[in-house]
Each structure stands twice: as C-alpha cells, then as structure tokens.
C-alpha cells in the first residue's frame, strides 16, 4: 500500500477540520478539545490540538492522507512534524475574519520555509455576505500573482475538491518544470 | 549555581530583571552570533558595557558623540598611552574640551546603546561572573535598569510581532517589479538592499552587516510593506522533491501517482 499526504493549515477557526471532513471517506479523526480561553470560545467551542486526519482511497495500492494542523500558535511545534514528507499544503483563511490574515500570512511563510513544496491558499467562507473580495484577500496576504488563491466553502464538497485538484495541478506543474 | 545558559531559554530582558532585583555585582558575558558582549553591574545597576571589538574607551565614546574630532581622537589614542579614562576625562575637562556632564551623558548613552543592541540577540550563551568588576581603566556609571528593561520588553514584543511577519531568516529576498526610484532609504536599509539577491538568505545579509535578528527583520519588514522586495526560497538551495513525499523515487511513477489522485478526486 502506497501512501501520500497533504497538509491543511491556517489560523484558528479557518475551517480546516471542516475542509477535511467534506472529502474524507472516513470520519475525520479529530483531536479536538474544549476551548480554554474566553476570547477563542466566542469563535467556536472546540478546537484541534494535535491534528485532524482524513483519508481518500484512490485504489487498493494508493491512499491520500489529509492532515489538518492545529491553528493556535502555541501548538506550532506540531507544524514541522506534520509537514514532513507532504506533497503540498493548503493554507485556509477565513475570508470574513480579516483579523486572522496576518497570522495566515505568518503560517504560510513558516510552511514555505519548512519545505519547498507547492501550495495553494483557500479563501474560506466566500459564500458569506461579509467575506472579503478575493483580490482584497490577495493583497492582504501579500500573495504574488503566481500564487493560487482559490475561493472556497469548506462545507461544499465540490469547492474542496477544486482546491485539492488545483494543488495537485501545481504539483504536476512543478514536476514538469524540473524535467 | 552559576548563572549561565542560553538566550533561547532566558532572554536578555529576563536576565536584566534578575540582576536588577537581586542587586547583583559582576559582569554578564554573552557570546552572540558574531560578537561577544561584556556588561558590568554594581548593586544591580548598569556600570559599563562593551560589545564586540570596540574598546569602549572614553576617547571612542566622545568621538562617536562628536565631542572630539577625528584628529583629536587619534592624538589622544597616540598620546594617552597608559592613561586611564578617569585621567583622560580630567584632562579633557581641565582643557575645556568637554564638561563632566558631557562625559557622563555620553557614556550612559553609549552603554545604553550597547544594551539595546543586546536586546536584538535571541541566540547565544550567557554567563554571569559574580563579583567580576568592569575594566579598571574605564569610567563606570550607575544607571537604573528599570527603564532599560521596559524598553527591552517593548522590543521583545516588537520582535515577536516581526517574527510572525518574517518567521524564517533562512529565506531570501528578491526585488519586486517596482523600480527602486524616488525611494528614501536609510543607510542601514541601503546596506540590506545592496545584498538583496535570491542567492542570499536574510540571515547571511544580517551576518554581513552585523545586524541582529530584530534589526534585520525591522528593515526587511519595511521593505516588504513598501512592496520593494518579496520573500523567496534561496536560489541554489536544493529544491528537490523530498524523497519522503513519494513512496517511489521513479519520476514517471510519481507522475502517474499524482494523475491517479487527480482522477480519483475528480470522480468523487
């Protein structure tokens, strides 16, 4: 059995767990705990403290694992461990919470430094009225024109599939460019 | 137990706070990334500070503060010989070149600047030599540490914020497409800009310019905000597909595998 992995990262409450849940064929193995701080509790009631784990079986010989990282900075020691050997990574950002953009940028830079693997940025909650426009998100995250910034709704399986496919296309492109 | 350790575990601010609260007398020696610092204290107050190869002499301090010109500085350095800083200070005061206040104010500023520089060190080993006095031939001051500690804490917060913005100094910089015209840069910024090249990591640029982590991050942050540079992976550094990424090392098999994944996700 061959296995490959992708990492889904991003700030606290960006929608990483939901993203994996939308495509995983197994119930996501989520290590969630109740939120301990008042400030974070206003955003959601439980959070990932170690990792989320989802699976997509391709055939009897190949399985794709999706790992979701914990969002809070205090768990960042997990990030490097989870990034080891990843095919690529997805940075999730909540388009309705500009206060998290700075952190998303920081997480993106941290993961870029870990490994020279392709990545895409998924602007989640684009279906919400108060979501930032994609171009504004691009500027706020300081993404250059070559970086793929994709609209996303983590609860929408189709949107999640598109994000995963775009990352895979980037990986293929990277492999072709090295030939 | 001797007060010694790593700045990663115990910051300069925490060290100064401890020395201040315990009213310690002695010399703190810090081996930083490129230089060594000697900071002396008497009863928990700053007495003397020196970083790197600068001799920290009164003549140098007054010259840096433009209280004596280059010729006078050279003449003093040539003639002072075995003269201590106290003797030199008296000579300069009697000759009317400087006042006693000039000397004290400029020494305090020089020592405080050294501590400021020390705050930018986040890596290095330190040890506190109990009772070790500052060099005998140097003039000591008696400066309360509280304000310095507050300033250091502020810098630490700033560093933490800048670390969020620029998490890794092992990345490189490259110019964006914006032309570098009509931009007013400081000398320090120019020193960094001069080395902007995907071949140079930020850590290398900092090392070449003898900049601390806070200083290089501050400058790069400014350049990033102005849209003049962008962070890139260093050119020439290996950009291999990590062997652990794929269960096979065969390029064609790897590509087949990715295409299989694409096919599977498309049909989900």
The structural domains of chain A, ordered by start, are 2-177 (3.40.50.300)
pLDDT of residue A31: 63
According to the model, what pLDDT value does residue B117 have?
Answer: 85
- Please report the DSSP string for B166-212 in residue order: S--TTSEEEE-SS---S----HHHHHHHTT--TTSBHHHHHHHTT--
In this complex, do B262 and A113 lie within 8 Å of one another by their Cβ atoms? Answer: no
- Residue A26 in contact with residue A105, Cβ under 8 Å? no
Asked if the C-beta of A60 comes within 8 angstroms of chain B's C-beta atoms, the answer is no
Beta-carbon separation of A112 and B245 below 8 A:
no
Q: Do A64 and B261 touch (CB under 8 A)?
A: yes
8 Å CB contact of B254 and A175: yes
Residue A35 has pLDDT above 70, yes or no: no
User: How do residues A59-113 score in pLDDT, each as one tens digit?
Assistant: 888 999 999 988 666 667 777 788 888 999 999 999 999 889 988 998 998 888 8
**Rounded-to-integer distance, Cα B30 and Cα B192, Å:** 25
How far is B245 from A84, CA to CA, in rounded Å?
A: 8
C-beta atoms of A142 and B165 within 8 A: no
Query: Does the distance separating the beta carbons of B233 and A87 come in below 8 Å?
Result: no
Instruction: Say how far apart CA B98 and CA B90 lie, in whole Å.
Output: 9
Q: Reply yes or no on whether the pLDDT at B238 is more than 60.
A: no
pTM: predicted TM-score of the whole model, two decimal places: 0.62
CB of A74 less than 8 A from some CB of B: no
Q: What order do you get walking across the sheet with B45-51 strand by strand?
A: B3-6, B125-130, B26-31, B36-42, B45-51
Select from B194, B193, B197 the least CA-distant residue to B220. Answer: B193
Give A-chain residues touching B240 at CB under 8 angstroms: 116
Report the pLDDT value the prediction gives residue B1, as an integer from 0 to 100. 53
Query: Residue A29 class from Cβ within 10 Å (0-12 exposed, 13-18 middle, 19+ buried)?
Result: middle
Q: How does pLDDT run across B134-186, given as a tens digit for each residue?
A: 888 889 999 999 888 888 888 778 888 888 888 889 899 988 876 666 677 88
Under DSSP, the state recorded for A133 is: P
- Residues in chain B closer than 8 A to A62 (CB atoms): 257, 260-261
Task: Calculate how close chain A gets to B244, using CA atoms only, in Å.
Answer: 5
Cβ contacts from A onto B, under 8 A: 95
Residue among B224, B237, B262 minimizing CB distance to A168 = B262
The order of strands in the sheet holding A2-9 is A29-34, A46-59, A62-68, A2-9, A88-94, A119-124, A149-151
Predicted interface score ipTM higher than 0.90: no
Is A161 in contact with B265 (CB distance < 8 Å)?
A: yes
B contact test, residue of A172, A177, A179 with most B CBs within 10 A: A172
B265, with CB counted inside 10 A (0-12, 13-18, 19+), is: buried
Pairing of strands A88-94, A119-124: parallel
Chosen from B226, B245, B267 to mutate, greatest number of chain A CBs within 10 A: B245
Q: Which parts of A16-151 are beta strand (E)?
A: 29-34, 46-59, 62-68, 88-94, 119-124, 149-151
pLDDT of residue B175: 87
Is A62 near chain B, with CB under 8 Å? yes
Q: Residues B192, B175: contact at Cβ < 8 Å?
A: no
Chain-centre distance of CA A2, in angstroms? 23
Instruction: Please state the rounded mean pLDDT for residues B232-236.
Output: 78
Q: Give the mutation candidate from A1, A116, A117 for the B interface (greatest B CB count, under 10 A).
A: A116
Q: How far is the CA of B215 from the CAs of A74, B11, B116, B120, in angstroms?
A: 25, 17, 11, 7
Question: What does the alpha-carbon distance between residue B42 and residue B140 come to, in Å, rounded to a whole number?
Answer: 9
For residues A85 and A9, the answer to whether their CB atoms sit within 8 Å is no
**CA–CA separation, B122 and B216 (whole Å):** 13
State yes or no: pLDDT of A18 exceeds 70: yes
Cβ pair B245:A86 closer than 8 A = yes
List of residues 6+ apart from B74 with CB closer than 8 A: none
Helix (H/G/I), strand (E/B), else coil: B57: coil
Residues of chain B positioned with their CB less than 8 A from the CB of A112: 168, 171, 231, 233
Contact A100, A18 (CB under 8 A): no
Quick one: tokens of B210? 């003898």
* Strand (E) or helix (H) holding B36: strand B36-42
Give B87-101 pLDDT, tens digit per residue: 888 888 888 888 999
Which residues fall within 8 angstroms of residue B211, CB to CB, at 6 or more apart?
B120, B188, B191, B192, B205, B219
A160 CB within 8 Å of a chain B CB: no
Out of A23, A110, A116, whose CB is closest to B268?
A23
């Amino acid at each position: 059995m061959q296995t490959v992995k992708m990492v889904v990262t991003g700030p606290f409450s960006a929608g990483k767990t939901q993203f994996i849940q939308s495509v995983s064929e197994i119930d996501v193995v989520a290590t969630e705990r109740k939120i301990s701080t008042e400030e974070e509790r206003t955003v959601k009631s439980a959070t990932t403290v170690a990792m989320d784990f989802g699976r997509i079986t391709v055939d009897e010989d190949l399985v794709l694992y999706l790992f979701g990282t914990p969002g809070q900075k205090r768990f960042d020691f997990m990030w490097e461990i989870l990034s080891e050997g990843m095919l690529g990574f997805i940075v999730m950002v909540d388009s309705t919470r500009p206060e998290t953009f700075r952190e998303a940028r920081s997480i993106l830079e941290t993961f870029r430094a870990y490994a020279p693997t392709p990545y895409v940025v998924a602007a989640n909650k684009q279906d919400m009225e108060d979501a930032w426009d994609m171009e504004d998100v691009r500027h706020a995250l300081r993404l250059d024109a070559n970086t793929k910034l994709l609209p996303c709704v983590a609860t929408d399986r189709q949107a999640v599939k598109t994000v995963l496919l775009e990352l895979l296309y980037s990986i293929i492109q990277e492999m072709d460019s090295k030939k | 137990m001797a007060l010694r350790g790593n700045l990663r575990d115990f910051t300069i601010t925490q060290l100064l706070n401890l020395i201040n609260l315990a009213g310690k007398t002695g010399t703190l020696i810090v081996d930083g990334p490129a230089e060594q610092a000697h900071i002396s204290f008497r009863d928990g107050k700053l007495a003397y500070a020196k970083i790197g190869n600068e001799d920290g002499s009164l003549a140098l301090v007054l010259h840096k503060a433009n209280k004596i010109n280059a010729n006078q500085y050279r003449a003093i350095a040539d003639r002072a010989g075995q003269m201590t800083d106290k003797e030199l200070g008296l000579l300069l005061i009697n000759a009317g070149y400087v006042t006693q206040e000039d000397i004290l104010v400029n020494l305090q500023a020089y020592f405080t600047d050294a501590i400021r520089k020390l705050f930018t060190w986040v890596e290095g080993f330190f040890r506190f030599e109990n009772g070790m006095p500052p060099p005998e031939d140097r003039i000591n001051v008696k400066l309360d540490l509280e304000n310095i500690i507050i300033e250091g804490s502020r810098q630490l917060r700033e560093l933490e914020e800048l670390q969020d913005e620029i998490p890794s100094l092992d990345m490189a910089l490259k110019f964006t497409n914006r032309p570098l015209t009509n931009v007013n840069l400081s000398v320090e910024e120019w020193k960094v800009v001069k080395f902007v090249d995907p071949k140079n990591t930020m850590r290398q640029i900092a090392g070449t310019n003898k900049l601390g982590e806070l200083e290089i991050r501050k400058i790069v942050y400014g350049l990033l905000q102005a849209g003049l540079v962008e962070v890139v992976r260093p050119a020439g550094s290996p950009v291999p597909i990590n062997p652990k990424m794929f269960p096979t090392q065969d390029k064609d098999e790897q590509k087949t595998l990715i295409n299989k994944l694409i096919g599977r996700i498309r049909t989900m």
